[in-house]
Amino acid sequence: MKKLVAAAIAAGLGLAISATAASAQATLAQVKQRGMLNCGSNTGLAGFGVPDAQGTWKGLDVDYCRAIAAAIFNDASKVKFIPLSAKDRFTALQSGEIDVLVRNSTWTMTRDASLGLLFTGINYYDGQGFMVRKKLGVNSALQLSGASVCTQQGTTTELNLADYFRANNLKYEVVAFATSDETVKAYDSGRCDAFTTDASGLYAERLKLTNPDEHIVLPEIISKEPLGPSVRNNDPQWFNLVKWVGFAMLNAEELGVTKANLDAQLKSENPEVKRLLGTEGKFGEQIGLTPDWAARIVKLVGNYGESFEANVGQGSLLKIARGQNALWTKGGLQYAPPVR
Amino acid sequence: MTDATLENAPYSFVRKDTLPQEAPPLSVAGPLAWIRTNLFSSPLSSILTLIGIYLVIDTVPDMIRFYLIDAVWTGSNRDACLADKVGRPVGACWAYVADRVQYFIYGSYSVSERWRVNIVFAMFALGVVWLLWNRAPLKKVGVFFFFVILPASAFILLLGGDRAEGFLRFLILATFALAVVYLVLSFKPSLIKFWIGEGQLGVEEAMPPWQRFYRPKRLILIAMVVFGLLAVLDEKVGLPRVDTGLWGGVMVTLLISAVGIVFSLPLGVLLALGRRSRLPAIQLLSVIFIEFVRGVPLITVLFMANTMLPLFVPQEWSPDRLLRPLIGVAVFAAAYMAEVVRGGLQAIPKGQYEGAMSLGLGYWQMMRLIILPQALRIVIPGIVNTFIGLFKDTTLVAIVGIFDFLRTIEATLVDPTWATPTTRGTGYAFAAIFYFLCCWGMSRYSVAVEKRLAAGQKR
């Protein structure tokens, strides 16, 4: 019986491997043939992927998917968003159900090395932060000694918190809750002095408080949560394509190419702009696209800064500061290699 | 000789007129008595009553204040529901529901194509009323409409695109072929003598040609009209494909539960009969199916279908992401339904089977005419119970990334546009109202059916 089961499993795995091997041939060709990009997305996260009143998905991650579709099809709407829970997101990518996963997933060594997938870059530098009441008069997390901190149970958040306070020799009291809603409620009702979770989440949760204006997010980020898109590790061309879509958006911002001034920029004499927008050279063809691939992205989606401000920055209700997500030229970490 | 009547009784102490009737004492009639017998009949019930009253006083006014008096009814974004901005305590934020109700109904279905969903909703409502309203005419046409026309039209209208167009073309061709067949038969009914037999043939031949076979012809006519209208719609307005990934909201909840309910009952009856069958192969297969499906959690099957299936099946063959849970839910409900129906079958005394057999009825006739009508009537509460369970279980599909009604509400809760302290309470209250109305409607209807069918043996 055991042998039979083992044989069945082996046969199944063989099938699975041959199936993935078949799909390994060319993700880009498959996407083109399907006429639609299958993009694994969040089931709903403020600023990163949320349906609006018409049911259209909006957000920073969503824009990344739309940018890929824009580069391939010259049509940002040719994306099928497949909402995935945290549990089945990587399985969906491995099984070929989705072509690319852009779902606020943290880039870690284990995920890169052993899950059969590759992160293509970082589209948002997140990290754990703190929110406190303004009237507490605290400007830095280092002044939180002796504070009680609300957090969610059994998450890395709780561990990071312990590490940080121990490293800085601060006393603190953890008040942990099972769900994030309970945690926010407890903080709102004054059960604890500070509330901690990922910074992007802090801004979203702040809006749910009774008086959002009475609370501030402290500048310290105590953990590294680099969020980025990932693809299967068996298709270098597709990996490059997804990676360079992100770089194109960053380069466009750096060079000052925006949705609004794109037509003027297409006539620009700046060699860097010319290479990016495809008025000189055929750089897009190296990743299986047309020379005007980056121009399509900017025209239909916008550059990184535009997408950031509209979805999570000043143009949105979250009003997250650029911080680490500013361009390297402005003191942030967002840096893209040149197109040449 | 005297008559001993009151009139001529010689004694003055004999009362000659009857007393007027007194009102019953307060302790046995009137509101006070009602309260005493129903609410305070014993120390225990007095305590329970007091606790009940306390709970009602404690919660109901707060709920009314939160959901009605302090509620915000109009507004276009979160500012309308923030106590700071409005300057008064704010309860439920119904403005948020009003703003997002389209999304709750249609999900991400393309805005310009939502009229198609509305047509399907209307057809569904028509079919439901036709079948469920006892005095509706032409029940058999209604059954045909609900089980053949409606699913086909819903598929064509909701999905659209090439595949739907091809299917519509096939349907129209098939309908025309049938129409031609019956046209020929109308003039030469003797062609299908082998099928309908001598007696029926005589009946048909006695009628003028246009009245022969009027029952099937009626159905074909309806199908021609409906599919013809769809073809006109497709031709004039166009039915572009709306991918199932965009479907959501009430539409998906109703779709999954309708498919589950419609498929589970017949499938369940067959499985129940199979399990009681004397043919070993059929019995074994039914038992294995029922026990296996009942032994695995629905979530496991959904996960399996949506994350494991693509590993084994090549991409172009793998079924649609919405179809997989549809099948999963239907199969699940069928297994539970089979056990409910089997309970009914077991309650039928052996005499009924023997009586049916002694009348010369075959197996299927016996089941259809004698056993199942009685068995199903007994298990109506169980059947409706399964339906209601199934309806609520549809929320589980959210786990595999399908946006049913509850999931659409949850998705809007994270949206900063409506992030307020009361949005969550409002959204879930709205979901509760919707699910309660649906389930309560089903249970009320089943009570009515039970009463009607069990008129002979009331308890």
Same domain, B154 and B230: yes
- Per-residue pLDDT at B350 exceeds 50: yes
One CATH from 3.40.190.10, 3.40.640.10, 1.20.1250.20, 3.30.990.10 for A26-125+226-330: 3.40.190.10
Query: Which of residues B241, B276, B301 is at a domain's end?
Result: B241
Residues pairing with A128 in the sheet: A198
**B176 and B321 share one domain:** no
Asked if residue B347 and residue B412 are part of one domain, the reply reads yes
Ranges of H-type helices in B207-279: 214-236, 250-275
Residues of B in contact with A55 (CB under 8 A): 102-103, 106-109, 111, 246, 248
CA B290 vs CA B203, B275, B287, B296, B386: distances in Å = 45, 9, 5, 10, 15
* Position B431 in a domain: no
Topology at the third CATH level for domain A128-223: D-Maltodextrin-Binding Protein; domain 2 (3.40.190)
CB contact under 8 Å between B419 and A53, yes or no, is no
Residue B11 has pLDDT above 50, yes or no: yes
Summary mean pLDDT of chain B: 88
Q: Same structural domain for residues B226 and B314?
A: no
Do the Cβ atoms of A239 and A24 come closer than 8 Å?
no
Domain boundary at B241, B268, B288, which?
B241
* Interface TM-score (ipTM) > 0.85: no
Domain ranges in chain A are: 26-125+226-330, 128-223
Q: Does the residue B271 lie in any domain?
A: yes
Residue ending a domain, among B224, B241, B258, is B241
Rounded percentage of chain B residues whose pLDDT exceeds 90: 49
Rounded Cα–Cα distance for residues A12 and B85 (Å): 60
Which residue on chain B is closest to A83 by alpha carbon? B401
Residue A79 confidence (pLDDT): 93
Q: Do B123 and B177 belong to one domain?
A: yes
Q: Is residue B434 part of a domain?
A: no
Top residue of A91, A98, A197, A208 to mutate, by most chain B CBs within 10 Å, is A208
The answer to whether B114 faces chain A, any CB pair under 8 Å, is no
Nearest-Å Rg of the Cα atoms of chain A is 22
User: What integer pLDDT is reported at residue A235 of this predicted model?
Assistant: 92
Whether residue A77 lies within 8 A of chain B, CB to CB, comes out as no
Q: Domain containing B137: what range?
A: 113-241
| A33 and B CB contact within 8 Å | no
Rg (C-alpha) for chain B, rounded Å, is 31
Cβ of A53 and B102 within 8 Å?
A: yes
- Mean pLDDT, 10 residues at a time, over chain A (340 residues)? 48 46 70 92 89 91 96 94 85 89 90 91 93 90 90 82 90 86 87 91 87 88 91 94 96 95 93 93 91 95 96 91 92 93
**CA–CA distance, B211 with B188 (Å, rounded to integer):** 13
A271/chain B closest Cα distance in angstroms: 41
SS3 content of chain B, % helix, strand, coil (to 5): 75, 0, 20
Q: CB distance from A240 to chain B under 8 Å?
A: no
> How high is the pLDDT of residue A5?
47
What number of CA atoms fall less than 13 Å from residue A17's CA on the CB side?
Answer: 6
Distance between CA B452 and CA B127 in Å, rounded?
Answer: 21
Residue B372 falls inside a structural domain = yes
Establish if B111 touches chain A: CB-CB under 8 angstroms. yes
CATH of the domain at B332: 1.10.3720.10
Looking at the structure of chain B, the number of domains it has is: 3
B128 and B101 within one domain: no
In 3D, which of A297, A305, A294, A301 has the Cα closest to residue A332?
A: A305
The answer to whether residues B101 and B154 belong to one domain is: no
* Residue located via tokens 């572009």: B240
Query: Nearest Cα to A188, choosing from A172, A173, A177?
Result: A177
Residue A115, min C-alpha distance to chain B (Å): 15
Query: Considering the entire predicted model, what is its pTM?
Result: 0.85
**Statement to judge: residues B169 and B270 lie in one domain:** no
pLDDT band at B218 (very low <50, low <70, confident <90, very high): confident
Q: How far is CA A141 from the centre of its chain?
A: 25
Q: Do B448 and B306 fall within a single domain?
A: yes
Whole-number pLDDT of residue B315: 66
Q: How confident is the model at residue B62 (pLDDT cuts 50, 70, 90)?
A: very high
- Report the half-sphere exposure of A279 (CA within 13 A, side-chain side): 15
- Rounded to a whole number of angstroms, the distance from the CA of B428 to the nearest CA of chain A is 14
Indicate yes or no: CB of A55 within 8 angstroms of CB of B308: no
Q: Based on the domain organization, do B308 and B412 belong to the same domain?
A: yes
* Stronger pLDDT, B291 or B199, i.e. the higher one: B291
Q: In sequence order, what are the beta bridge partners of A215? A: A133
* Nearest residue to A128 (alpha-carbon basis) of A151, A154, A96, A160: A160
DSSP β-bridge partners for residue A197: A129
Enumerate residues 6+ apart whose C-beta is below 8 A from A303.
A249, A250, A252, A253, A257, A258, A259
